[in-house]
Amino acid sequence: MKFGHFDDKNREYVITNPQTPWPWINYLGNEDFFSLISNTAGGYTFYKDAKFRRLTRYRYNNVPMDSGGKYFYIKDNDTVWSPGWKPCKTKLDKYECRHGMNYTNILGEKNGVTASVLYFVPLKTWAEIQKLTLTNNTKEIKKLKVFSFVEWCLWNAASDMENFQRNFSTGEVEIEGSVIYHKTEYKERRDHYAYYSVNVPVSGYDTDRESFFGLYNGFDEPQVVADGKSKNTEAHGWSPIASHYIEVELKPGESKDFVFVLGYVENKEDEKWESKNIINKKKAKDTISRFNTVEKVDAALADLRKYWDNLLSIYSVNSGDDKLDRMVNIWNQYQCMITFCFSRSASFFESGIGRGMGFRDSNQDLTGFVHQIPERARERIIDIASTQFPDGGCYHQYQPLTKRGNNDIGGGFNDDPLWLILGTVSYIKETGDFGILEEMVPFDNDISVSRTLFDHLTVSFDHVINNLGPHGLPLIGRADWNDCLNLNCFSNDPNESFQTTENKTEGSKAESVMIAGLFVVYGRDYVELCKRLGKNDEAARAQKHVDTMVDVIKKHGWDGSWFLRAYDYYGKKIGSDENEEAKIFIESNGWCTMAGIGKEEGMCTKALDSVKERLDSKYGIVLNNPAFTKYYIEYGEISSYPAGYKENAGVFCHNNPWIMIGETVVGNGNRAWEYYKKICPSYLEEISELHKTEPYVYAQMVAGKDAFKPGEAKNSWLTGTASWNFYAVTQYMLGVRPDYDGLLIDPCIPTDMKGFTITRKFRGATYNIEVANPNGTNKGVLEVIVDGKPNNSNLLPVFGDGKEHKVKVVLG
Ligand code: GLC
Ligand code: GLC
């Protein structure tokens, strides 16, 4: 069952039934100022950091789901309704929510009145714009009462939800004309306030929540709206809100627009006040005046659209398959931008107060985004590397506002350092900017111990070889990519966090075959980088370690039909046929086949066949099989999940592309694409009632074959799944891959795919690439013609001439 449809021309998903199986959301803003907005106008706003600078309040996991947001109440005689259906839930005559690239338009119609609300954050602006358009489609005059509503959060979203003995006494507002200012804590340590304005005179306002709703009413029945009259309240403590009251008269056929601005301001210490206790409103007024007419708002939206035209013009495919094209050209790239901005902090599954930016997550996210805004990727790489320790280890997470490592979680995840090589190399291959390697980057944010970024890569590489276990495989530390394989945790205390507890690490024999495979892949990248820099001794030293690791994996990481997953604390095998449960895991088989380990000996095909046989399911490849059915103290969190969920045999979509890429290494295009389509959301639109989450973005996890309800997705939006799928499909399956000296053309496609075209902008030139597959092959480039002349390899040169180049590729 579908709840809407794709509108590819406008790059929108159009929801036509408000009762989606889960709130289907969108993100506004892409730099400093952000909002999350659901298809019924639920959600919240923050500046830079969803924990420390939360502007509006949100209650997660509420009853009913998704309560609280940017609401409009329209009172038309005795009927009260909202354009997004919620919160009033008055039955609408028409409903439509269009989620587009960083904007959302929600339209409702009731009794001949249409209300359309456009929500977006203009580029370079610390404010969300809401343009409300009311239209009278009847032959009578309509007299409407309109009430806006937002609820202020007291900035720190964590203490906002817990420290009531203080919070209920601190709230402060100021009201001037049609602008409501939220200034809680401004007179002491804060240099910021928020505001909510409308560009017409108001007939009233409210800023005290209890007065607006009535203490025992929900969002659906504010007392003020029922009464049809504001109370003009000024909040003192308790819970400050902002609501404007506007009386609107519409002639038959008439339309009126209202522009609301929800913004944020920072003032310097000596510019905080206009007079005693009266805040300096200059910056707020400046922003409000930038958007005080419909023309200005429309122009800002046009700029935003242009911005996205440009970003999405860098890589686009035309394959004749709409589902594939809309993912690659629009939604997958969009999701990559969102994960780049938010890492794992703020979604409808991540509260925005728990986690900052992940070291490994951000490096992986980069790969899906670096072609769009390489300058921001560059900055991100430096920020991430700055949280590394001198021995190559690193903070697992950092806070975006402070850019400091997060002490609560600390370090010790032994895969982390290697991802920095991935991030850096992806950036250089895209841009050719080797200069980044010379940047001086601190360790642990201490500038006095800065070294070049290249040195950071060296210590990343060395961190693995300095931490090898008894078999010569990398020690796992707290965990590798799989946060839930906690081999040194040994926790029997429910009050301990699996993420931060390690009760036994000294003397541990726990080794990771996944890190070993990762080390081979990124170790080779490191070697190549050294060679290009003329550091031949270092290249030779590193190559030796990589070669040794390959041998060690073949010897101690192979189980006969697939790659082992790990060795536990005691040195016993994990992911082996010998085990009773979880005989095989996806991660090590992904990385070792991506690395081509034992390809000649047939290990790769054997491992991939085992994955197909044991891990594949209708809805994707599960993480392990058989699922754990009891708790293994020596394995940790992974065995705490019910069978089929999350890291315990769920379809963890993030790592499915590793197998897809592995399949391309052995040239099995049919299988790679079969796996791709199983988890790609646009192919799942028809089963939305089962899949539950948005059909336009990937979810982290889909319930696996052992689950109660296989195929049900959770945790959409903020997942490395976005970048890995984009990386796999664009670089290894469609096969247009940036490399140091040019664009490599190396598709691996299904035999029945006839061909496709790709437009790729790369280092200052545009490549119009036409790939033909006349002989129905999977892989292998027969001929490449560039601008009419044969090219003697499948590497397209760097032109950098600002021109378009015609490339014809024949597979065979
Ligand atoms: C989550 C984490 C990621 C981890 C993965 C597997 O997605 O953000 O860091 O690798 O789970 O546990
Ligand atoms: C839990 C999740 C995992 C996530 C980790 C960190 O262990 O299962 O996916 O990476 O928490 O928050």
Q: Which residues of 484-503 are buried (b: 16+ CB within 10 A; e: fewer)?
A: bbbbbbbbeeeeeebbebbe
pLDDT in tens, 405-422: 888 888 999 999 999 999
Number of helices (H), then strands (E), in the chain: 20, 44
- Does the pLDDT at position 369 exceed 90? yes
Residue whose entry in the numeric block shows the structure tokens 């990124």 = 522
Percent of the chain with pLDDT over 90: 96
DSSP-assigned letter for residue 88: T
- Does the pLDDT at position 401 exceed 80? no
Q: Is residue 607 within 8 Å of 563, Cβ to Cβ?
A: yes
State the pTM of this model.
0.97
pLDDT in tens, 730-765: 999 999 999 999 999 999 999 999 999 999 999 999
Q: Which atom of ligand 2 is nearest to the CA of 637?
A: 7
For residue 534, count CB atoms less than 10 angstroms from its CB and return exposed for 0-12, middle for 13-18, buried for 19 or more.
Answer: exposed
Q: How far, in Å, from the CA of 673 to the mean position of ligand 2? A: 28
Q: How far, in Å, from the CA of 359 to the mean position of ligand 1? A: 11
* Phi, psi torsion values for 26, nearest 5 degrees: -145, 165
188, 192, 197, 199 alpha-carbon torsion, rounded to 10°? 130
Q: Is residue 486 within 8 Å of 638, Cβ to Cβ?
A: yes
DSSP-assigned letter for residue 351: B
Q: Is residue 151 within 8 Å of 266, Cβ to Cβ?
A: no
For residue 133, count CB atoms less than 10 angstroms from its CB and return exposed for 0-12, middle for 13-18, buried for 19 or more.
Answer: middle
| Ligand 2 touching residue 483 (CB < 6 A) | yes
- Does the pLDDT at position 661 exceed 90? yes
Ligand 2 atom 5 nearest Cα: 483
**Angle, helix 603-614 to helix 586-594, in steps of 10 degrees:** 150
Active-site annotation, residues: 483
From residue 226, how far is each of 1, 75, 215, 217, 496 by CA, in Å? 37, 8, 14, 11, 48
| Ligand 1 touching residue 482 (CB < 6 A) | yes
Q: What tokens does 484 get?
A: 């839930």
The whole-number pLDDT of residue 406 equals 86
Residue whose entry in the numeric block shows the structure tokens 């070291």 = 359
Which ligand is nearest the CA of 641, by number? Answer: 2
Q: How far apart are CA 812 and CA 715, in angstroms?
A: 41
Q: Report the chain's terminal Cα–Cα distance, integer Å.
A: 40
Residues 371-391 have a mean pLDDT of 96
**What is the pLDDT of the chain when averaged over all its residues?**
97
* Phi, psi torsion values for 61, nearest 5 degrees: 50, 50
What is the per-residue DSSP string for 435-485? GGGGSEEEETTEEEEEEEHHHHHHHHHHHHHTSB-TTSSBB-BT-SSSTT-
DSSP-assigned letter for residue 682: G
Which ligand is nearest the CA of 483, by number? Answer: 1
Counting ligand 1 atoms within 8 A of each CB, the residue from 349, 355, 361 with the most, and so the one to mutate, is 361
Longest CA–CA span in the chain (Å) reads 85
* Phi, psi torsion values for 338, nearest 5 degrees: -65, -45
452, 454, 457, 458 alpha-carbon torsion, rounded to 10°? -90
49, 362, 722, 320 alpha-carbon torsion, rounded to 10°? 110
Q: Is residue 506 within 8 Å of 569, Cβ to Cβ?
A: no
pLDDT in tens, 558-592: 999 999 999 999 999 999 999 999 999 999 999 99
Residues 41-70 have a mean pLDDT of 96
Q: Is residue 82 within 8 Å of 219, Cβ to Cβ?
A: no
DSSP-assigned letter for residue 347: S
pLDDT category at 357 given cuts 50, 70, 90 is confident
pLDDT category at 403 given cuts 50, 70, 90 is confident
Q: How far, in Å, from the CA of 204 to the mean position of ligand 2? A: 47
Q: What tokens does 664 get?
A: 């391309």
**Angle, helix 453-465 to helix 536-556, in steps of 10 degrees:** 30
Q: How far, in Å, from the CA of 750 to the mean position of ligand 2? A: 34
Which ligand is nearest the CA of 717, by number? Answer: 1
